[in-house]
Amino acid sequence: MAQNHPRNHVVFAPSQEPHRGIKSVFLAGTTTRTDDRDWREVLAESLADLPLTIINPYRADWDKSWREDAACAPFREQVEWELEMQEKADIVVFHFHPATEAPISLLELGLCARTGKAIVVAPEGYTKRGNVQIVCQKHGLEMVGSINALKEAIAKRLPADSP
């Protein structure tokens, strides 16, 4: 008999609260605002019926004055938190929006590629799509065509007896 698990438990940066879902999913990828709604919000809502902890690097208190420099304490905290959470996550989702180059996401995909944890969306029009495709093929990473297809790909990685 399946246990009751929390649904769509979302952890935002820089929280250290424990993960309560059967699996955890880190939402990596494009952070630049590109659509009416942030892709992370859309995906989290679509996963509401699955027993997951969703790790969202969005930080409501982000201050644009923080320098992207290792000596800037809040910037360092954010980057270290993201790296730690990606390592701990069971699944790391990468979304490469065609309106951005997402160089940090490319770096993170490189760090994650050999773990087999990634699911990647790099739609037509994304400027580095070919590179992403080759990395995914080389390391056996799943690529899906859209954010909508992510839910099914994530659900397939849950144990068969998950509610």
140-160 pLDDT, tens digit each: 999 999 999 999 999 999 987
Backbone angles phi, psi at 65, to 5 degrees: -80, -15
Using the predicted structure, report yes or no on whether residue 6 has a pLDDT greater than 70.
no
Give the separation between CA 36 and CA 26, rounded to whole angstroms.
Answer: 22
Give me the pLDDT at residue 2, please. 37
96-106 pLDDT, tens digit each: 999 999 999 99
For residue 11, what are its two tokens?
């952890």
pTM: 0.91
- Go through the domains of the chain in sequence order and give each one's CATH number: 9-60+67-155 (3.40.50.450)
Sort residue 140 into left (φ over 0), alpha (ψ -120 to 50) or beta: left
Q: Is 86 helix (H, G, I), strand (E, B) or coil?
A: helix
For residue 102, what are its two tokens?
């997402």
Helix axes 147-155, 39-46, angle to 10 degrees: 40
